[in-house]
Amino acid sequence: MNLLVPLAFLCLATVAPWRVCSQQQRLLVNMTLVPNARASGALCLDGSLPAYHLHRGFGAGVDNWLLQFEGGGWCNDLTSCFERAKTRRGSTNFMNKLEVFSGILTNNATLNPDFYNWNRVKLRYCDGASFTGDAVFTNKTTTLHFKGQKIWEAIIHDLLPQGLGKARKALLSGCSAGGLATFHHCDDFAKYLPTNATVKCLSDAGFFLDERDISMNHTMRFFVKSLVQLQGIEQNLNRNCTKSLYFPDLCFFPQYALSYISTPYFILNSAYDVYQFHNILVPSSADKQGLWNHCKMNPAACTSDQINTLQGFRLDMLGALRPFYLSSRRGGMFINSCFAHCQSELTETWFGDDSPRIKNKTIAEAVGDWYFSRNICKEIDCAYPCDATCHNLIPLRSGQLDD
């Protein structure tokens, strides 16, 4: 069951609460559980069945498919994973059964001109490891299923006979932890589809950096190491990457895995990604006195030294992307300077009247030009605060790495 209903109250309460929502109809898409998943052990953290939301394509897009990984952080220890299993991040039992499709997922041709009539699928996230784990933890009272890799495979096998197996065009996308998942499943996705299909991948806010925090500690690296070990991820990372690094778990970071991906790829990211700013560059463990609190909530409140630190983060991201920028003929980029995290799922940032732009091009236009080979698209914004199109974005609240 798919519903079109006026949902003005759902409009951007967490992104731009001062804005008045447009009175457009929002698309609600029903959840589909994967009944055959239990046989292969492809279960959410709490043992519930995995799920997705599918809205059928039509017209010229009836044989085209867009798959979107849901995001939502990670859990890297038993305590956080047990807690996660009691929420929508670890169990389909706690998820909304109807999901809003907007931005890149909307069926509105005006708001999503290139993908509106495709088959569009949102893969629900309930494993806590970007759909990459394959392990089980059991004690006397509880079992945790770290089965993200199996969930990915189960959903794909459920969709193949529904038309995905005959796709003419396909795009694998994702936001945040879901954006990270696209790096790890891009080439595998292409292998499932016909050899003559046009298959490409898009990561939105998934280019998480292996970056030292402001106290010069490798907070994110240690987090990833514990995540990889707990959830049995290493066996599912790119083998060419893991063979090339002394610490194979580093291949969980996109900057190390990217050069081994052969499928055409587009990277959408803010150079001042708010999640990374709050949790990788300035985690609470590195700012116990709260000297960065005002800066985190409002870039205009940052001191000159803090701005310099943020500019250094931007340069490190661009440095990590430089090999891709120079060598990938089929790759695309849109690296803007908004304080944002995830920009493809909301109409207001995807293709709205005042969406972020680089060289007067919206994110939707850049991705469409790249996917359909209308134009070469490797756009890098000037440094903050030069971009006047970022006015509709504000920083997210500080959180934890497993939020």
Angle at 122 between CA 119 and CA 125, to 5 degrees: 160
Catalytic residue among 273, 287, 381, 402: 273
Q: Cβ distance 72 to 177 under 8 Å?
A: yes
| Residue keyed to tokens 């016909």 | 194
In angstroms and rounded to an integer, the radius of gyration of the C-alpha atoms of the chain is: 20
Nearest to 154 by CA among 174, 134, 168: 134
219, 213 contact by CB (below 8 A): yes
- Set 53, 185, 278, 341: catalytic member: 341
C-alpha to C-alpha distance for 333 and 331, rounded to whole angstroms: 7
Residue 341 annotated among the catalytic residues of the structure: yes
**Structure tokens of 205?**
């806010």
Amino acid letter, 255:
Q
User: Residue 316 catalytic?
Assistant: no
Taken in order 164, 165, 170, 173, is the CA torsion positive or negative? positive
Place of tokens 């890098």: 380
Q: Is 185 a catalytic residue?
A: no
Say which of 176, 270, 328, 344 is annotated catalytic. Answer: 176
Contacts of residue 13, defined as CB under 8 A and 6 or more positions apart, other chains included, come to none
Q: Which two tokens stand for residue 88?
A: 């929508």
Measured CA to CA, the distance from residue 337 to residue 69 in angstroms comes to 24
Q: Which residue has the tokens 């759902």?
A: 10
Dihedral angle over CA of 74, 79, 83, 84, nearest 10: 20
Task: Return the amino acid letter for 370.
Answer: W
SS3 23: coil
Candidates 285, 18, 41; CA nearest to 143 is 41
φ, ψ for residue 274, nearest 5 deg: -65, -40
Distance from CA of residue 389 to its chain's centroid? 22
Q: What is the largest CA-CA distance in the chain?
A: 59
Give the contacts of 122 (CB within 8 A, at least 6 positions apart): 29, 52, 53, 68, 70, 99, 101, 105
Helix or strand holding residue 119 (H, E):
strand 119-123
User: Which amino acids are annotated catalytic?
Assistant: 176, 273, 341
